[in-house]
Structure 1
Amino acid sequence: MKYTSIIIPFVGGLGMFIYGMQIMAQGLENAAGNRMKSLLEALTKNKFFGVLLGAFITAVIQSSSATTVMVVGFVNAGIMNLQQAMGVIMGANIGTTVTGWLVSSVEWAKFLSPSNLAPVAIMIGVIIMLTGKRRSTKDIASIVVGFGLLFVGISSMSSAVEPLKDNAAFCNIFVSLGHNPLLGIVAGAAVTAIIQSSSASVGILQSLAAAGLVPFGAAIYIIMGQNIGTCVTAILSSVGAKKNAKTAALMHLIFNIIGTIIFSIIAIAYLSIVNPAWAHGNITQTQISMVHTVFNIVTTVLLFPVSDWIIKLAKKIGHVEEEVQDESVVLLDDRMLETPGIAIQSTVSELVRMGHVVADSLEVARKVMFERKEEQIAFLKEEESKVDRLSAGITSYAIKLSTLQINEREHEEVAHMLQIVSDMERISDYCENISEFAESLLEKQVDFSEVGVEHLNKMLDVCIASYLYALEAFESNDRESALKTIEKETEADGLEISLRAKHIKRLTNQQCNTEAGVVFLDSLVCLERISDHARNIAEEVLAE
């Protein structure tokens, strides 16, 4: 037997299968973009919701490894705690079974036969891709083409290994794996760890099953091993991460090992005592999907009530203690770039967080202008430094996002964020300028006149309102708030001209202190420019 005639078509089919899976996943991710982005905002401490979230994301991106790597990134960035991560990890195991059901559909839905459907699907997808102009149309084309390539790949693998069913030595390997559970688990884990995809690993097993090569007993242990092997990607990803992030990867491994132990005991008892004959019968692709799904769902149901113990065990093994989060650290991680849609939403969330820091600074700036307490001045300087660090981190991450293969709308969204982060940072700078003006008045022991205080308060009201409307417009994508921002900015422009003229008249009539008068004028300029930057933010929202 010429093994090259088997290996080359098999490897080529595997490559086509993985490529088709990636194309389909990218199309699904783009098509589900808005839902994917809203998921991050909806995250709560409810682990049950986390399970649903993990299952959905994994079903869309077709990789539990990618989902877990993303979770490691969230935990490392401080966006997600370990309780939330546990739920998503459990759900990821369930979501990864979708690919297996797609592959096995050739058995329970005959019209999906690769020989009939795959070439047609690829042709239709290519025509849509070449003729379609809308982004949503191209996303659908990617899903259809990926779907077709996935089936062509699995068909190529099945055809390539079919001659092996007459090879006694090869068949004996699977018989041995069925007789030795540990060997079967190790084999499944090793293959999955090497190709770093449990979906692809299950696909390989299904292609072998389609050729009638895999006994039921061997398949069960290989499938359980595949669930352990898929943890390798996340563990490698956690190298160099914080202890909490390493704990998240460790939780995934512990969860799958416990599930494997439970099911191995059940499988050994059933196949050795209750129904030994079943172990020797060949498994079908659909049965592989069923075993894979039952294993992951039942493991989740059994371990969900004790998931907190798994977290404690992982923390104990990883020597993890609760960390105090530094608010000036950007809660973004490069691992999240694996799923650009969610990475973009994470960046939006960080920009909103930075926006609220700036809003707090504005409120303190109002107090500083009139009260001039040293602790308030120190607070504003500290907040400005925090905003600078957040601005630098968000900008750097947004630039990384812009280099990814994202669609045109997402590129525009990143460009809007880069402009908004700059405007927010400038507003923070003006708050610091106000604190410096307050220091100057404090040193010189001078104060504004009663009229000056009244006029500055009026200007502060309008300018702070313009920024708060702008922040609300960005946070909620609210066009009405954006339009209110522009109204307030226009009002601030007129008010600045009016108050400047009145103040110069008071200076001419010597109705106020000259040194305080200079600070008054400088303050008007700062506040008017704050409203200008608020308008810039609103216009970016309206441009989306």
Structure 2
Amino acid sequence: MPEAEAVSTYALIAGFLGGLGLFLLGMTLLTDGLKTAGGKALQHILGQWTRTRPRALASGMGVTALVQSSSAVTVATIGFANAGLLTLGQSVWVIFGSNVGTTMTGWLVALIGFNIRIEAFALPAIGIGALLYLFMKAARPRYLGLALAGFGLLFFGIDVLREAFEGLSATFDLGALARPGFLGLVIMVGIGALLTVLMQSSSASMAMALTATMSGAVPLEAAAAAVIGANLGTTIKALLVVIGATPNAKRVAAAHVIFNGLTAIVALLILPWFLAAIAWIWGSTGEAPAPAVLLALFHTAFNLLGVALMVPVAPPMIRWLQTRFRTIEEDIARPRYLDRSSSGVPDLALQSLIQETERLADIGYSMARAALQTAPPAAGTLDRRRLATEQLTRAIAEFAAYTAHHPMPEQVGHGIAEAVRIARYHREIAILADDIAELRRQSSGEERPIVTEQRRAWQEQAVRALDLCNLEADDGTHNGHQLAATEAVETVETAYAELKAALLREGTFGSMSMAEMERQLRIISMARRLVSQAAKARHHTEALKARIRGLRKTLEAESA
């Protein structure tokens, strides 16, 4: 192999690996930054913009037309889905809209030969984002900076990938590969997809097809097939983004692939008639369209056709995708006992709510035990389970609200409201457990052995109290468990005051830094509240089951 060729091959491989690495790193930073900085506020804003299918579709179209990059919108949407800020239903319609919005690039190239490149903003975004992250004190601006830097890195990676194949378009002759017949069209679809993958830009592939058509090097049908392939080639970015991403992000990427694949197949099958119909409609105005304009019009028309095809297909597709890429946490979050068919029978609905709430309790208590064990759980271990408990709590509340629309005895209505209240206690336990685990991982461990032993003994007392609170509620014949749980909670309260005093002494007299003292005080304060929430949950569960026993006795007496 000649030396120049070897260098060229090395540059191609190095550019591809480097660009891919920057792309994936940028996606990770973007997701983490959005998740931490955005929170519920960003989720609310996105929810308003994408609340309905028309809004989500219009958002995808408008933003993509504005930034001139369907990749930007697709990647950002997958990032939002990965961070839990957009649902699958919202995300897919934004993606569909972005495919329509990206056709604006073809119109710009066809009409004025101008193409905006968002990659030009990558380096300033990285610089500004890094400065915000390094020098801002408040958490939200810092993590917004992290997200901005991630966004810049992501598109810098795309630019590196594009430059790795920069000379490809200059040496690649589309006209030489055009073949007659349907097989020739299929070949052109493959070429368009390959060029988009290699150059990481469907706009570049579109521009090549438009140029080849205007010069007469490629017939209109063959160029249209290459445009279909360019559209199909954009899915590779979505597939790259979801490497190691959440199941919801993978579902969004899969929806993107399904949409582009289905649209490509239909457009290819009806290509000659489709182009003829477009030419006839445009020609009816009395002006013969230029080939480039006709090709841009075709690009828009077949993406709109794809959206029309997805109107009936999207709902079953979303339901099917929700069964794919499932994780243990998602299986935990899926209700097992809440069936809408039982909501019309108040007694059954209440029993279902109690069973689901007990499931939620088991998850929360297992998280609490993990957070308070000798060694804190690994990072991320409890995060996903916390999200699962929040989803399950929301499902319990929604089921209760749905049940409330049916007539029911007052006692049952109070019981259903009480079940929702108990579920909220268990959700709070899960949230506190996750926060405690995170603080414990940050701990420096700079305390005297005697305090360490005192803290460990207190944690064991807290775990014992939790276990007693989580024992199956009494059947009314004895109150041994309740008394034991109450005594355990009181012991935790007493030991808490002693441990707090010991930590304050450690921090005051310098054997522990003030920062570590504050961290340890927050940990034991959260753990104390966790035990308190467990005691409240048990108390209300006992009261609820006593209410149910009383209701059953009343019904039995009435039936007798």
Same fold (TM over 0.5): no
Q: Flag the structure with more relative contact order, 1 or 2, with Cα contacts below 8 A and sequence separation at least 6.
A: 1
Give TM-score scaled by structure 2 length: 0.44
Larger fraction in helix: 1
